[in-house]
Amino acid sequence: MKKIFILTGEPSGDKLASNVISKLKNSKPDIDYLSVGGEHLKALGIKSLYDLKEITYLGFTRVLLNIFKIKKKINQTVDKIIEFDPDILFSVDSPDFTLRVAERVKKLRSEIKTIHYVAPQVWVWREHRVKKLKKFLDHILLLFPFEKKYFEKENINCTFVGHPLLEDNEKNKIDITNTIGEDKKIISIFSGSRSSEINVLMPILLKFIKIMKEKYKNIHFIFHTTNEHRATLKNQVSHEDLENCDVISDEKIKSYILKKSFFAVAKSGTISLEICNANVPSIIIYKINFINFFIVKMLIKVKFANIINIAAGKEIIPELLQEKCNAKNIFNKVDEFLTNPDLSTNQINKFKEIINDFKTNKSSDLASSVLINSL
């Protein structure tokens, strides 16, 4: 029996991997799997070596503080992969963890094919890493068409598959109109998938909601989170005694709620593409400690944090980062959109043009076919 080891480093990678593996399971059910994954791969019946929380760190300083734990996990993961003896090591995103593991596995067992999904963002920083990747990666699956030139220049096998989060998944659609009401005005809020992000952003977002409620009485605020963090967020919301404020973690319900929303406030990251794909206007927020931010500013080559803005070369989705990421500024920006509907319409029209270039409508199928052809 053929074997695939799936290596992720955070919840968003777990979700991306599960989209591909679910397709692969349908077309080729006789494959044995093992992973470092989360709840999405677990839902497919795939065992994880350990909990993702053990390797999910945010920012340079937290990585430095946990460097020995990370090294130990890398060593442990490499040993378990070699013991599992897969035909393919399928690594997904989180390059500072997954690619370190892939590099060591390739050195120890060169016959194991290494396929990486979500290319390291060399167009943002560390362009020199491309040459190094060629030494231990057999294939890279690209989410964005403009990435091909960086890898083809070094003769690295790569395939543009598009972004799976932009796929229209009809079978996952759910209708809960009777539960939430047809006329309810919803703002969806995404505070992140890491505890470190949530700890920073939740106090700001809860204060933002309080300010909003002074002007907008009938808006329902819904936090989108994972099963892991649902209890934490619910406790924080309950502690503030906020009315018309809920927390959801079920994936199908989250998708439906997002589509029903008339606006979204989201932590910078992959979720922004899902929001755009749902045709929901939004703003992006993010905040890390000063030392981490200073290091990032020294290294990055792009003006924006959001992929839509990076691709457009201008700000389409407003970004409130660092000192700008506070409750009052978030309120002012959201209020600006709510009082000027044309801003929402214009944003939707602009990001539609961008994400159409990212779509293949069969991203997960294309990615799974690369895996099948490599077995």
Same domain for 21 and 76, yes or no, is yes
For the chain, give the mean pLDDT.
88
Find the DSSP H helices in 85-159. Answer: 95-108, 129-133, 148-152
Of 10-19, 116-125, 135-144, where does mean pLDDT reach its minimum?
A: 116-125
Percent of the chain at pLDDT above 90? 63
Same domain for 162 and 184, yes or no, is no
Same domain for 121 and 134, yes or no, is yes
Provide the CATH number for the domain around residue 191: 3.40.50.2000
Cα separation values, 194 from 59, 88, 89, 174, 190, Å: 11, 28, 25, 27, 11
What pairs with residue 264 in β-bridges? 188, 282
- Is the distance from CB of 46 to CB of 32 less than 8 angstroms? no
- Is the distance from CB of 247 to CB of 223 less than 8 angstroms? yes
What pairs with residue 284 in β-bridges? 266, 319
Res 275 pLDDT > 80: yes
Q: Angle CA(26)–CA(31)–CA(37) in degrees, nearest 5?
A: 85
Q: What is the pLDDT of residue 61?
A: 43
Same domain for 352 and 365, yes or no, is no
Q: What is the pLDDT of residue 299?
A: 46
Q: Report the b/e string of 103-125 with b at 16+ CB within 10 A.
A: bbbbeeeeebbbbbbbbbbbbbe
Task: Starting at the earlier edge strand, list the strands of the sheet with 88-92.
Answer: 31-36, 2-7, 88-92, 113-117, 139-142, 158-160
- Is the distance from CB of 99 to CB of 133 less than 8 angstroms? yes
Same domain for 221 and 346, yes or no, is yes
Q: How far does CA 278 lie from the centroid of its chain?
A: 16
The number of folded domains in the chain is 2
Res 58 pLDDT > 50: no
Q: What is the pLDDT of residue 60?
A: 41
Q: What is the pLDDT of residue 309?
A: 92
Res 319 pLDDT > 60: yes
Q: What is the pLDDT of residue 62?
A: 54
Res 303 pLDDT > 80: no
- The two tokens of residue 303 are 């003006």
Same domain for 132 and 17, yes or no, is yes
Beta strands in the chain (DSSP E): 2-7, 31-36, 88-92, 113-117, 139-142, 158-160, 185-190, 219-224, 245-248, 263-267, 282-286, 319-321
Same domain for 281 and 195, yes or no, is yes
- The confidence band for 359, taking pLDDT boundaries of 50, 70 and 90, is confident
For the segment 100-120, the average pLDDT, to the nearest whole number, is 96
Q: What is the pLDDT of residue 59?
A: 45
- The confidence band for 304, taking pLDDT boundaries of 50, 70 and 90, is confident
Q: What is the pLDDT of residue 131?
A: 82
What pairs with residue 34 in β-bridges? 5
- The two tokens of residue 366 are 């294309």
Q: Quick: pLDDT tens for 146-194.
A: 888 888 988 999 999 998 778 765 555 566 655 566 678 999 999 998 8
Same domain for 222 and 133, yes or no, is no
Same domain for 159 and 241, yes or no, is no
Q: What is the pLDDT of residue 126?
A: 58
- The confidence band for 32, taking pLDDT boundaries of 50, 70 and 90, is very high
Res 300 pLDDT > 90: no
For the four alpha carbons of 158, 164, 287 and 40, in that order, the dihedral sign comes to negative
Q: What is the pLDDT of residue 346?
A: 97
Res 195 pLDDT > 70: yes
pLDDT top residue among 280 and 145: 280
Q: What is the pLDDT of residue 198?
A: 92
Mode of pairing for the β-strands spanning 319-321 and 263-267:
unpaired
Q: What is the pLDDT of residue 241?
A: 86
Res 66 pLDDT > 70: no
Of 20-24, 91-95, 194-198, 244-248, where does mean pLDDT reach its minimum?
A: 194-198
Q: Whole-structure pTM over 0.85, yes or no?
A: no
Same domain for 137 and 184, yes or no, is no
For the four alpha carbons of 118, 119, 123 and 125, in that order, the dihedral sign comes to positive
Same domain for 347 and 365, yes or no, is no
Q: What is the pLDDT of residue 114?
A: 98
Of 22-31, 149-158, 203-212, where does mean pLDDT reach its minimum?
A: 149-158
Same domain for 151 and 196, yes or no, is no
Q: What is the pLDDT of residue 91?
A: 98
Q: What is the pLDDT of residue 174?
A: 62
CA atoms within 13 A on the CB side of 207: 12
Q: State which residues form the domain around 349.
A: 171-358
* Element containing residue 356 per DSSP (H, E): helix 341-358
Percent of the chain at pLDDT above 70? 87
Mode of pairing for the β-strands spanning 263-267 and 282-286:
parallel
